[in-house]
Amino acid sequence: MGGRWPATDPLRGGTLGTRPAPARRIWRLRRKKGSAGAAEWGCSALWEASGSTWSSGPQGVLSTASRCRARLSAVCSPVLPTASPRPGAKSKCWSLSSPWSSLHAARRNICPASATPLLPTALEPLKDVHLGLAPPGRGPARLTILSGHYLYYHYGCDGLDDRGWGCGYRTLQTLCSWPDGLPAGVPGLVEVQAALEDMGDKPRGFRGSRSWIGCVEAGLCLDYFGGPQGRLCHVPRGAGLQGELERLYSHFAGGGGPVMVGGDVDAQSKALLGVCLGPGTEAYVLVLDPHCWGAPKTLSELQVAGWVGWREVCTTFDPNSFYNLCLTSHNSEKQLHSQD
């Protein structure tokens, strides 16, 4: 039995290809019946016989190497700095190593062509970095956040300089650390790439590359590594996340875990940790941003820098972008094994 992506797959787009392959386990997304509005997709494992066809279509808008290379920082950092503020955060202090300030940094600190930026050392991930944040809004509201615990993975936290291309991997690592908030079972970036090759989702040579990944790849890897269950949801272009707020509220209120989100125009992967609705038409989401480059030592340092915090939905998400969501929940199979 061969696996194919749907010909009009909104999650990836493109056309189907054929490729002879040895027998191996592959993965297919299938649309759930009866889903209204945003399309929900589930992952199903298949076995592909030698010589059968499979999808070798595009690797997704979030996996374009040329786009991520263009955003790589040009800064040569001799030491790992403290956490630099998130772009748009209310702070007057900017680190030259911030990937968004690379143009200004390059003008003031140009590295020789032969110079290679020193890689940071591995850090111990901080846990539950949203704790202590004040609720948003100015009055009564419906507020809910995720249950359980998680670790904050971000650029360079394991000693690998992945600025400009690793945000999807880091968000996936945060998802894998839930609900226990432990590093056990959290795959490294190369392990994720090798797994996607092994599943047949990516071609040979993907391992060791700087290609992006998004929510589709995250959903496959959650199942592959035995992490929490992932449910994919596609939000069409122009809809934004306004129409998904009740779904997200129910997800977190029902004990759900972090939600990965990413799109095409807005291609920066991030995690959602909670929702606050009201008063009136106000709506906020609790965002965990993996683009931090530095060595944050405390929760308050990250919160002041803006890498975790409540953001207004209408100004945070681009209505010109489609979005994919990967909603995590407890792995029922893992719970059964633990009870045995």
Enumerate the active-site residues.
167, 289, 291
Tokens representing 130?
């949203």
Using alpha carbons only, give the angle 265, 268, 269 rounded to the nearest 5 degrees: 125
Question: Which runs of E-coded beta strand occur in the chain?
Answer: 24-31, 39-48, 126-127, 142-145, 151-152, 229-235, 259-263, 270-277, 283-288, 308-312, 323-329
| DSSP-based three-state secondary structure for 10 | coil
C-beta neighbour count of 121 within 10 angstroms: 12
First to last CA, the chain: 33
Alpha helix segments (H runs only) across 55-113? 65-70, 102-108
Contacts of 163 (CB under 8 A, 6+ apart): 72, 73, 99, 155, 156, 293
Which 8-state DSSP code applies to residue 19?
-
Which 8-state DSSP code applies to residue 62?
G
- DSSP secondary structure letters along 96-134: TT-GGGHHHHHHHSPPPTT--PPPPPB-PPEE-TTTTPP
Closest CA to 266 of 308, 306, 325, 207: 325
